[in-house]
Chain A
């Protein structure tokens, strides 16, 4: 820092924004960077749990009639694998990156609702532990991650398995909804001056599209969960035919949520790819407007395709046509994005580093998954391969390709920013190849298995059906993939303390998080940056201006715990927001909710009503202390 003025401002900011290390801060922090890191670590732990579940299944399926795992445990394994991967890993992991990066990328000091942010994390942790406690009592959900009726109704599954599912997801929904609302308001209202709509980083567009989808799609799942619990616990009727219900109602409600859910997963991941491609192509993204638009239109059309998960349920042709048309058209925006990335790479000067490798892997794998996806939009084909391993292959290609590859790319790309150190590049590249080869070896043979008629969700199969070889290949692939993941874990753990020092901007990147230190200071930016393009960190003069503005005490907002509020369209300064600091209430309310859900699970209705009252008191306590007090 050049002058005394600048240094004084920074000291004032450090004092205001500093959170003393220790247990108290651990439990009461509202800093988006700490919360983001927590999301990343916790969701990765769930990833490993789901991975172990997968390896167990692959071990059982490696040989016909292996006898390692019985049908009951197998049902729980594939159910928990799906539930964990979708609800406790991919979405929270992407939200972890969102939490850490969105305020930094838009030039803000924190999220719009920092206490709500902390609350979202604690509820996520609570709901994950709630769901996994089911394993301890032997009542893990066992009707698949989509929990179809009538099997999930009381008459066919008496135990708590399904109640764990319903209540666990209702609990988690609170976290996801709160997080989504936080992102939307943050991205719209807290941007740096000059960051008009057409200058918002593409990763933030991805988070925005995801958040709108969460807000509008989660209620369908909640309605389904509420209906089923009322049916199971109190004898209501929604899904049983004899009393005027319909089992297909569950499928509709579930997939009205379920299909947007895949975009909830895919769009932020795609945002990550759009963040990484320009950096390693050494040029701005080709076709920014279309890349942003593709994200939003995919999310929108994604609400109108859900029936394609029900093409084999005997619906009328006209009904199915609505959804077949949309399912075909939705490919167009995704295709546009692929061409956008390819054009950027081909017209740039690509530099191959580990983040870029994972992005290339994503493109290959996702396109394969996309191709089989288009095949499914053709109803006659869909009806042939429904419930076979062809479906399993397809969704692993689009989900693993579309989300896990970008997540690993993100880990490699942003590790330097979060920790201040570089990962070991050679180990990263070796791990990548085990990862890529292992993935394809696991899931490609499943296309063949599906076409040969192997159904999904079977705990074993007879010899002599022509399935043995491909199953064995898939299992070998799974363990290879696991080795690749292990390599990355080792790399991360070792490099945290022994990696090369990264500096502010080791990659020469284009977005604002790279304009501040690695890791960023508690207040993110000493002077709120002013933005004049979609690649602000490549506008070198503007970044020098930031430093000069600090010397003039402009946009430093050092009088309090503050950040800038701006207009949603043009990014014009509107006001200064007072941001809340550490608070115990998010954790307290989350804990009260956990107790409430545990009581609902065990059926103690009166106690649950009391717990509800306690939650309301906690909520009141939270709001008694104003930000700035």
Chain B
């Protein structure tokens, strides 16, 4: 694997889990609002089905990011860091943040799926 690809994988590992959660929040909340708001009758959105879809997609992105972070971390441990330590810093950050955001994404998605649609 070239240096450039390794670098990209590290950035993916750092950015993907937080952005996956952000996507889940924006799309999930948006769909939920659209399906339960007063003007929603026209669109016929199935809230639970949509939310399950959102969870699957964003959950996968988050997990993919976490795996990239794990891989990057191990690469640094195997000696492919830089002398100033900033690659290791980014890899550790990606791994830790990845765990946190995967947890958050799954927790949010499961919470949403277990509740009754549109109930106040």
Contact = CB atoms under 8 A, between A and B. Distances in A.
Q: Do chains A and B make direct contact within the complex (CB under 8 angstroms)?
A: yes
Contacts of B44: none
Interface string B65-83: 0000000000000000010
Contacts of B115: 317-318, 321
Q: Quick one: which of A293, A318, A326, A571 has the most chain B CB within 10 A?
A: A318
Contacts of B46: none
Contacts of B84: 194, 196, 198-199, 570-571
Interface of chain A: mostly helix, strand, loop or mixed? helix
Contacts of A332: 100
Given A329-B107, A570-B82, A197 B97 contact: no
A303 B18 CA distance: 11
A301 B118 contact: no
Interface in B4-47: 18, 21-22, 25, 28-29, 32-33, 36, 47
B3 interface: no
Contact of B25 (A317, A326, A570): A326
Contacts of A301: 104
A316 B108 contact: no
A464 to B, nearest CB: 36
Interface in B81-109: 82, 84-86, 88-90, 92-93, 96-97, 100, 103-104, 107-108
B82 A316 contact: no
Contact of B86 (A198, A314, A316, A333): A198
B103 A329 contact: yes
Contacts of B120: 314-317
A316 B118 contact: yes
B111 A297 contact: no
B92 A289 contact: yes
A293 B93 CA distance: 6
B100 A297 contact: yes
B112 interface: yes
Given A290-B96, A326-B108, A297 B18 contact: yes
A100 B84 CA distance: 27
Contacts of B104: 301, 325-326, 329
A314 B21 CA distance: 25
Given A321-B111, A321-B112, A569 B51 contact: no
Given A297-B97, A329-B103, A322 B25 contact: yes
Q: Quick one: which of A197, A290, A292, A571 has the most chain B CB within 10 A?
A: A197
B107 A325 contact: yes
Contact of A318 (B18, B51, B88): B51
Interface residues of A, number: 33
Which bracket fits the contact residues of B?
Answer: 35 or more
Interface of A: 194, 196-199, 288-290, 292-293, 297, 300-301, 303-304, 314-319, 321-322, 324-326, 328-329, 332-333, 569-571
Contacts of B33: 319
Contacts of A199: 84, 86
Contacts of B88: 198
16 contacts: A196-B85, A197-B90, A198-B84, A198-B85, A293-B92, A297-B18, A297-B97, A316-B119, A317-B116, A319-B33, A321-B112, A321-B115, A325-B108, A326-B104, A333-B100, A570-B84
Q: Quick one: which of B18, B22, B85, B118 has the most chain A CB within 10 A?
A: B85
The 6 A-B residue pairs whose C-beta atoms are closest, nearest first, are A198-B89, A196-B86, A196-B84, A325-B108, A321-B111, A293-B93
Contacts of A324: 111
A169 to B, nearest CB: 25
Contacts of A319: 29, 32-33, 36
A552 to B, nearest CB: 24
A199 B84 CA distance: 9
B100 A322 contact: no
Contact of B47 (A194, A303, A315, A318): A318
A325 B102 CA distance: 12
B4 to A, nearest CB: 14
Contacts of A328: 107
Contact of B118 (A318, A333, A569): A318
Given A321-B111, A329-B107, 6 more contacts: A288-B89, A315-B120, A318-B36, A332-B100, A570-B84, A571-B84
Given A304-B25, A318-B117, A325 B111 contact: yes
A314 B37 CA distance: 12
Nearest to B31: A318
A339 B118 CA distance: 40
